[in-house]
Structure 1
Amino acid sequence: MTGLEENAPRTAGAIWWQVIPVWAGLAVLLALTLLLAYVPMGRLNLVVSLGIAAAKAGLVMAFFMQLRRPDPLLRLAAFVALVFVAFMLTLTFTDLLSRATLTQPGTVTPRSLPDMPVTGQRAF
């Protein structure tokens, strides 16, 4: 055996007992994401949400993509995919940061509403 567990006898019960705790963990993280979406935490809300998303992605990569196996080619492919995604996100954010502001001549901006009276009348 090479350590990759290719020849290990696997029964349906053994597979279910390995997958159900991971599924339960993902469900708990999903519920935590939903609950924290309604908690006003300011700027910390983004950090917590990204942390929970990273934990969910880690669970999926480790268990469902089987990156726990010591197969170097599998890990290399996952690493190359992560580098590609990081490269594409870097290009996207660089493009967004290098765009001109909306106050430049020639850009179309929405008209501002006229000053509303304080009498409680609506603008429409």
Structure 2
Amino acid sequence: MTAAGAHAADIDKHVRIYITVFVALMALTIITVAISRLHLREPVAVSVALLVAVVKGSLVACYFMHLISEKKLIYAVLVLTTLFFFALLALPAVTHSNGYWIHE
């Protein structure tokens, strides 16, 4: 195989990956819209919507921002940030269930 042929095959591989990620993002968008039409209870709907948004954001960050080939330190920072984010999301629920909110 010539260098030009190898380069073309490499480009085809990347294009296939981008198209696959695009299709996954479109499918997840359709899932988000479908979930919004199911009339679920608000906490369940928000939780599922956040989960879908995290998956979509991860796909964009990994493939379109090329973070999938980064070093492990980037993943450690990302995991720490995600844990902190979910801790901040859980904080209002925890404080509300303990009766700290006066105005209801």
**What TM-score does the superposition give when structure 2 sets the normalisation length?**
0.59
**Aligned equivalents of 1:70 and 1:40: distance in 2?**
40
Query: Partners of 1:52 and 1:46 in 2: how far apart?
Result: 10
Gap runs ≥5 in structure 1 = 1-8, 104-124
The structure that is helix-richer by fraction is 2
- Give the aligned partner of residue 54 of structure 1: 54
Where has structure 1 moved over 6 Å in runs of 4 or more? Answer: none
2:38 aligned partner = 39
Find the counterpart in structure 2 of residue 75 from structure 1. Answer: 75
Residue type of the alignment partner of 2:55: A
Residue 37 to residue 20, structure 1, CA distance change in 2 (3 Å): same
CA radius of gyration, larger in: 1
Query: TM-score w.r.t. structure 1 length?
Result: 0.51
1:52 and 1:90, CA in 2 relative to 1: closer, same or farther beyond 3 A? Answer: closer
Cα distance change of structure 1 residues 74 and 23 upon mapping to structure 2, 3 Å threshold: same
2:22 is matched with: 23
Aligned residues: 94
Q: Deviations over 1:15-70 (max 9, x none)?
A: 33221210111111112211221122336434433332233233234323445436
Question: Identity of aligned pairs, percent?
Answer: 18
Match of 1:93 in 2: 92
Q: Counterparts of 1:95 and 1:44 in 2: how far apart (Å)?
A: 16
- CA distance in 2 between counterparts of 1:56 and 1:17 reads 18
Deviation at 1:99, TM superposition (A): 4.4
| Structure 2 residue runs without a partner (length 5+) | 1-6
